[in-house]
């Protein structure tokens, strides 16, 4: 063991969706580095139905066989009470909570938007945005009281948009707002939260048609290749907060939300907007606002406020405590 190895000795981590695939690899890596892991997994099928305590138990047995420490938690995270009790279960088992990895999720398959309904959207929002919100809300006071905490949300490149998967994309995109808002709020108490959109050969790869691409994907997109990034984001030395990443196949990159310089005309007409569209769509972003306040600051400065004036004005707006 090298002296530079990042360890989690004495730390407790919750990993949701840890019964199989990518979540299992996150849990195993953290446990190998000394973390005590709460393995949360209801054991649903690929489409979010049914339940099976087997996957969570298998992960726990595997971690223990590797010399680690883990317990299983098999309640439904789409149910508010099940999600809330996750943090309590970790505290009951290990007495503390240092990091949370919300990896749980499922697909509902591809459907044309004209055939979509609210039930499908609600189901995906429940395991993604709502479960993440509740988990973070329960973990927050614990982490705040101890003066530190790490949260890694496992999202999807569906945030970029995917035809035939509008509810899935909508639910995953909600993670961006959650991540950025909590990152801004957690700065003062050393709570850091980041978002990872992974690529890996999970159960969803079973739906791929046989062929050269499927063979290549299964060979190169091992689920364990995402875990080192997740591990760093869970560590007390995590160097980033509020960042968005993509990870897969050994590649890690930053996802950027930016604004171009755009164009300014106080007397803008529809026709002038059309004419200015190439300038508006200039590909190179010149600013990367990380909060709503920073975006408002860019707007104020673009329309004539001096940088100092904009910041001072924004500083007058205080959030409720």
- Count of beta carbons in the 10 Å neighbourhood of residue 209: 6
Question: Among 73, 168, 175, 299, which one carries the catalytic annotation?
Answer: 168
CA distance 226 to 222: 8
Give the torsion sign (CA, 77, 83, 87, 89). Answer: negative
Cα-based distances in Å from 23 to 43, 108, 218: 12, 19, 17
C-alpha distance across the termini of the chain, in Å = 45
Measure CA 300 to chain center. Answer: 31
173, with CB counted inside 10 A (0-12, 13-18, 19+), is middle
Mark whether 160 is an active-site residue.
Answer: no
70 contacts 60 by C-beta, under 8 angstroms: yes
Q: List the catalytic residues.
A: 168
């Amino acid at each position: 063991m090298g002296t530079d190895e990042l360890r989690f000795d004495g730390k407790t981590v919750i990993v949701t969706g840890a019964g199989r695939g990518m979540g299992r690899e996150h849990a195993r890596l953290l446990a190998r580095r000394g973390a005590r892991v709460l393995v949360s997994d209801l054991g649903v099928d690929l489409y979010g139905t049914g339940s099976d305590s087997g996957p969570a138990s298998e992960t726990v047995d595997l971690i223990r066989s590797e010399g680690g420490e883990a317990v299983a938690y098999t309640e439904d995270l789409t149910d508010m009470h099940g999600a809330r009790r996750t943090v309590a279960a970790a505290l009951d088992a290990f007495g503390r909570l240092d990091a949370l990895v919300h990896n749980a999720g499922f697909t509902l398959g591809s459907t044309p938007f004209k055939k979509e309904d609210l039930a499908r959207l609600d189901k995906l929002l429940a395991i993604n945005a709502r479960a993440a919100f509740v988990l973070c809300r329960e973990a927050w006071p614990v982490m705040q009281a101890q003066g530190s905490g790490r949260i890694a949300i496992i999202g999807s490149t569906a945030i970029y948009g995917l035809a035939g998967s509008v509810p899935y994309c909508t639910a995953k995109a909600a993670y961006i707002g959650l991540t950025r808002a909590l990152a801004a709020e957690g700065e003062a108490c050393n709570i850091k939260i980041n978002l990872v959109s992974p690529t890996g050969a999970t159960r969803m790869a079973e739906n791929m048609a046989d062929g050269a691409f499927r063979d290549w994907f299964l060979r190169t997109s091992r689920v364990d290749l995402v875990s080192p990034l997740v591990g760093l984001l869970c560590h007390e030395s995590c160097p980033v907060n509020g960042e968005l990443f993509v990870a897969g196949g050994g590649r890690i990159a930053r996802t950027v939300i930016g604004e171009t310089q755009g164009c300014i005309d106080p007397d803008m007409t529809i026709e002038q907007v059309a004419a200015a569209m190439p300038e508006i769509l200039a590909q190179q972003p010149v600013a990367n606002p990380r909060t709503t306040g920073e975006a408002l600051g860019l707007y104020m400065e673009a329309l004539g406020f001096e940088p100092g004036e904009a910041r001072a004005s924004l500083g007058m707006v205080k959030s409720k405590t």
